[in-house]
Amino acid sequence: MRFYPLQPQDCRQLKLLMNNPSQHQLLPHSLDDMPSNTIWLIPEKLVPLGFSSTPANSPFQTHFNQPQANAWPEIHLDFKPGKGTTIYCPRPNSNHSINQELKQYLNHRQLLLDELPFPLEEIHQHACHGYLTYEPGLMTKNGRPHCRRCGNHDPNLFASYHCYRCKQECTYCRSCIMMGKITSCSPLVRWLPNKREKRTAASPFTHPSQRHHQSNSELHSNPNHQSNSELIPNRKPDPKCDPSPRHTLAWTGTLSYFQQKASDKLYATINDFLHGKNERNTFLVWAVCGSGKTEMLFHGIESALNAGLHVLIATPRTDVVLELEPRLKAAFPNTKILPLYGGAEDRFGQGDLVISTTHQLLRFHNAFDLVIIDEVDAFPYTADQKLRYAVNKAKRDRSLTVFVTATPDGKMKWQAETGEILSVKVARRYHRHPLPVPRYKWVGQWKKKLAKATLPIPIFHWIQTHLTTQKQIFLFVPSVAVMHDVADILERTLQTTVGFVHSSDPDRREKVMAFRNGKTRVLVTTTILERGVTVKGVQVGVLGSEDRIFTESALVQISGRAGRSPDAPTGDVTFFHYGKTNEMVKAVRHIQEMNRLGDEELALESRKLREHNVKEQNNNPTGVARNLKK
């Protein structure tokens, strides 16, 4: 798309020259407050042909009769007020009748002009009347391109081509190309928030039906929310408290002691957020693999939804969206849940609860009050960075972000420890058994062996031992090349079914399914597979665990594949290495520390239970209070 950029003085001059009311529709309805450092953009396609026959010295000639219109103008855009050039947004014209369908379509979103199924005239009309604005898709920062949709600023992830729209060399972003090409000449369109039209959830955060009768203290004494020490396994929505909750939680399962603790703390954090109490807007749920993360979120999500908040669950993976959708739909039958992933049916729809992959999230802008980031795994790290950029763009200025992860990065751990962010640890799995602690096994120069088409003896031995007891085996390796070699060797030497899979394998799903239902006994793989690959009694090996790709968090996640099932809660995790690395040691310590914490909390839980029973028997609360203080 090409645009004519007009300075304020040009707009004024043109406005005087335009007699025909239809011509007025190219310019802002009001120029009264157009600052000098702003420009106005007129799409080339909308400029009437008649303008070219005007006198040579008129502004029409200057602006519309050039041999070439400008592509997206090369302007330095800095959205901080008073800096750089910005695009003028006139105040909304309340006399203009807006197209509700267009408004709905752009609700909380920032879309490419091409993604809008509305005529350009109509879109531009809404810009003229102060309801929407164009923003550049790519901009230049210190001479380097920067994608405003996905945050990419790696020069290697941009390319240029001869563009059919601006008819010149045009740069585009390769990083988010699967969302539709974003080029130097493609504007993003955003609906402008109407400052007079305040959201119901913006200040008093309770559901409209609750607002008049539910005070802060009442919320805290809400029977839906029992404190942990009362040892009540599950809360059920209480109809007395809110006569007409729009969103009801239909899930009736029981939370473990550990899940309950996290659930309570999340609920309290959301409550504080609703009442503007906590300045810290990040909450970390540090939960070990297999702890039942989703269920811990239910009560928090329910309260947020009923308070009118827009809730997002963001994840880097489509698999997770597909897995969460049916579970959340079953848990919240009255809630409009919108799953977003590449290939989803309704990618431009609206929902109270949105579950989205990183890329689909890039279409949102200033949309969510509660953002739950389900970091299934922290690697690859770039995927993680992208997700955070997308989340920052999609969340509201005042919002609460909840990270749910088994492996927070160093910075986040530090923030949690120093209290800079709020946090809770879930140190034990749902089935209450400790995490299997990895063992180290030195295997010498395994790469040399591999070159001779064989593997170190201890690996064969380890696999054989587990196969004889009917166990399945996950063998992680550092690269696709190693994966193929190892799978070949195992296929030749083992009397069993061997499969291999890597993250971009086109048959990944089928292969994982074959492993899950036991058809494949040994699966050689490069990266962490899907979450919820819960294969009963699976044993986990990492060949070449000294490789750089196996970071602490990767190794913790990999180890977390073992012992997930309540029927087989233990498992063997072995790091086959040629020299112990710091990351390996850190991973083992991480797991040991979580186990220690879990033991401690279980001891505390049983003590509390005993005290609770004593209290029941003696009905002597002062004695209990003294015991609790110890």
Based on CB atoms, which residue is closest to Zn ion, 71 or 321? 71
Cβ closest to Zn ion, residue 71 vs residue 522: 71
Site for Zn ion, residues 118 to 147, rule: CB under 5 A: 147
Site string for Zn ion, 66-105 (x = CB under 5 A): ----------------------------------------
Residue 166 within binding range of Zn ion, rule CB under 5 A: yes
Q: How far is the CB of 149 from Zn ion (least distance, A)?
A: 5
CB atoms under 10 Å from CB of 603, counted, come to 10
User: Candidates 80-88, 105-113, 178-186, 453-461 — which segment interacts with Zn ion by CB under 5 A?
Assistant: 178-186
Chain-centroid distance, C-alpha 52: 50
Per CB under 5 A, contacts with Zn ion among 183-202 are 183, 185
Category of 563 on φ-ψ map: left (φ > 0), alpha (ψ -120 to 50) or beta: left
Distance of closest approach, residue 215 Cβ to Zn ion, in angstroms = 46
161-169, 195-203, 298-306, 479-487 -> range binding Zn ion (CB under 5 A):
161-169
Stretch near Zn ion under the rule CB under 5 A, chosen from 160-168, 274-282, 315-323, 518-526: 160-168
Q: Which is nearer to Zn ion, 49 or 178 (CB)?
A: 178
> Of the two residues 207 and 393, which places its CB atom closer to Zn ion in the complex?
393
Measured CA to CA, the distance from residue 585 to residue 592 in angstroms comes to 11
CB neighbour list of residue 607: distance below 8 Å, 6 or more residues apart: none
* Degrees, nearest 5: CA angle 303-306-307: 85
| Residue numbers 227-286 binding Zn ion by CB under 5 A | none
CB of 349 to Zn ion, least distance (A): 23
Give the residue from 356, 411, 334 showing the smallest Cα distance to 109.
356
Encode burial over 15-52: b for 16+ CB neighbours within 10 A, e otherwise.
eeebeeeebeebbbbebeebeeebbbbbbbeebeeebe
> For residue 275, how many other CB atoms are within 10 A of its CB?
16
- Give whichever of 183 and 545 is closer to Zn ion, judged by the CB atom: 183
Q: What is the nearest approach in angstroms of Zn ion to the Cβ of residue 157?
A: 8
Tokens 């969206």, residue located:
321
Contact segment (CB under 5 A) with Zn ion among 157-165, 326-334, 371-379, 386-394 equals 157-165
| Candidate residues 112, 170, 266, 390; the one interacting with Zn ion per rule CB under 5 A | 170
Give me the helices (H) in 332-440, please.
358-361, 381-394, 410-417
Tell me how far CA of residue 290 lies from CA of 133, 562, 608, in angstroms: 46, 9, 25
Q: From the CB of 371, what's the least distance to Zn ion, in Å?
A: 20
Contact pick of 70, 175, 224, 303 for Zn ion (by CB under 5 A): 175
Q: Which is nearer to Zn ion, 164 or 279 (CB)?
A: 164
- Show Cβ contacts of residue 450 under 8 Å, excluding neighbours closer than 6 positions: 482, 485, 486, 489
Concatenating the DSSP letter of every residue in 240-277 gives: TT-SS-SS---------HHHHHHHHHHHHHHHHHHTT-
Pick 112 or 337: Cβ nearer Zn ion: 112
If the CB atoms of residues 165 and 347 are measured against Zn ion, the closer one turns out to be 165
CB neighbourhood size of 203 (10 A)? 9
Nearer to Zn ion, 353 or 362 (CB): 362
Q: Does 11 bind Zn ion (CB under 5 A)?
A: no
Measured from the CB of residue 171, what is the shortest distance to Zn ion in angstroms? 8
Whose Cβ is closer to Zn ion: residue 147's or residue 285's?
147
How do strand 158-162 and strand 169-173 relate by DSSP bridges? Answer: antiparallel
Q: Quick check: 290 and 564 in contact, CB under 8 A?
A: yes
For position 296 contacting Zn ion by CB under 5 A, the verdict is no
> Which 3 state secondary structure label does DSSP give 294?
helix
Q: Tell me the two tokens of residue 460.
A: 């064969």
**Contact status: 524 vs Zn ion (CB under 5 A):** no
Positive/negative CA dihedral, 354, 359, 360, 363:
positive
> How many residues bind to Zn ion according to rule CB under 5 A?
13
Q: Is residue 41 involved in binding Zn ion (CB under 5 A)?
A: no
Smallest distance, Zn ion to C-beta of residue 110, A: 12
Nearest residue (CB) to Zn ion, 149 versus 429: 149
Position among 152, 206, 222, 399 found at the interface with Zn ion (CB under 5 A): 152
What amino acid is encoded at 288 in this protein?
Answer: V
| For Zn ion, the closer CB: 152 or 306 | 152
Residue type, 67: P
Q: Which residues bind Zn ion (CB under 5 A)?
A: 147, 149-150, 152, 163, 165-166, 170, 173, 175-176, 183, 185
